[in-house]
Amino acid sequence: MTRSRAGSAYWTDLAVASALAMILAAAILLSPSAEAPAFGAASGEAATDRPEPTEAQTAQTTPTCNPLSLRERAAQTVLTGIPGTRMTDTTRTLVARHAGSVVLSGENIEGRRQVRRLIGGMRRHARARLLVAVDEEGGRVSRLGSEGLVTYLPSARRLARTRSAAEVRRLGARLGRQMSDLGFDWNFAPVLDVTDAPDYTVIGDRSYSDDPDRAARYGLAFARGLRSGGILTTGKHFPGHGRTAVDSHERLPTVRTSLRRLWRRDLEPYRVALPALDTVMSAHVRYTALDEKHPASLSRPASRLLRQRIGFGRLLITDALDMGAITNRMSIVTAAKKAISRGADVALVKVWSQADDATSRLAGAVRSGRLSRSRLDHAAGRVLRAKGYGREKIACLLG
């Protein structure tokens, strides 16, 4: 090949290569998935000249929860019973609109499969996670063990006389696992009342001991066991039902003792068991050293004692508001409003037909200014925390 022909071939090849490069560049620029090269990208700057979104802009585009309405947050503070053993329209409405938690009684329980299906059905219709509770102390207060659904435990008094605290903790753990397997979240136990009253009086053998240290030790052990099995615990009946044989299911007991004696005897189990208590249930008992007029369940001084002196920061619930100690004096609905306004976080409205009215009364009290929005939100927030919601989610739900 001569030099002139070689030069001509060179320029021809170069022209073809340039044309191909231009076609390729055009294809890249026209491609919808291509990104334009960024100014300064080689020096480590961002690959786009658009500014980064601000925190406010990011928050606006981030999916958020649907905040609870006033009525829905009021419902979080109501714990109710349900009718029957199957899902009904009434039960669906209760868990969707009128209550944030449910307690099952003997009339709701037939067998393992039935209980699991009932609880699962209720959960599917709840506005926020549903808490499902039951009374399973052992002895004569046994909704599940008496039906063979969980291991039946002897009374607290018998356990304290025949078993070590370590054994009671293991029994509590096994019971907790069995309850959790059925779908329950919450047990209204342990009983922390201190008494030596005969077995079948209102508290009687439901108490571990007439010695406050022994009652505290066994109550703590049982609570720790339940917790390790995945169940929320309840210390009851604050600040103590052991000093009276009057049955608060029938009428209002009154205890006239000094705060100093109450502190040394009745309150000792609460101070000791505090780390293992998720909730505390207040008693329908009037303690004149705390409040001359009201039972502890409706008393601001009693709530302050628990919060400020003992240091309990979790859920405070009332005993059932359909008990004679309350209904002899006022309606269930009125009691529910008074309880929440005076420091309780949950009103136990066990009579399911009253749950709608109780929730409506609470929401109405906020609208009229008779109950502060902050008090209701504080109570609802504690309920949501017990349900496992984190701080950010609670802030959104109550936003």
Among 13, 49, 213, 249, the active-site one is 249
| Residues contacting 249, CB < 8 A, separation 6+ | 202, 323, 324, 325
Distance CA 169, CA 348 (A): 27
Dig out the tokens for 280 from the structure.
């505390």
State the DSSP H helix or E strand holding residue 78, giving kind and residue range, or none if neither: strand 78-80
Catalytic residue among 319, 345, 356, 377: 319
Measure Cα distances from 387 to 116, 152, 342, 358, 384 in Å.
19, 27, 22, 21, 5
Task: Determine the 3-state secondary structure of 362 from DSSP.
Answer: helix
DSSP 280-330: EEEPS-EETTT-SSS-GGG-HHHHHIIIIII---SEEEESPTTSHHHHTTS
In the annotation, is 249 catalytic? yes
Q: What is the Cα–Cα distance from 175 to 110, expressed in whole angstroms? A: 18
Residue pair 383/340 in contact (Cβ under 8 Å)? The answer is no
Amino acid at 396: C
Beta-bridge partners for 191? 236
Euclidean distance between CA atoms 376 and 381, whole angstroms: 8
Contact 245, 202 (CB under 8 A): yes
Residues with catalytic function: 249, 319
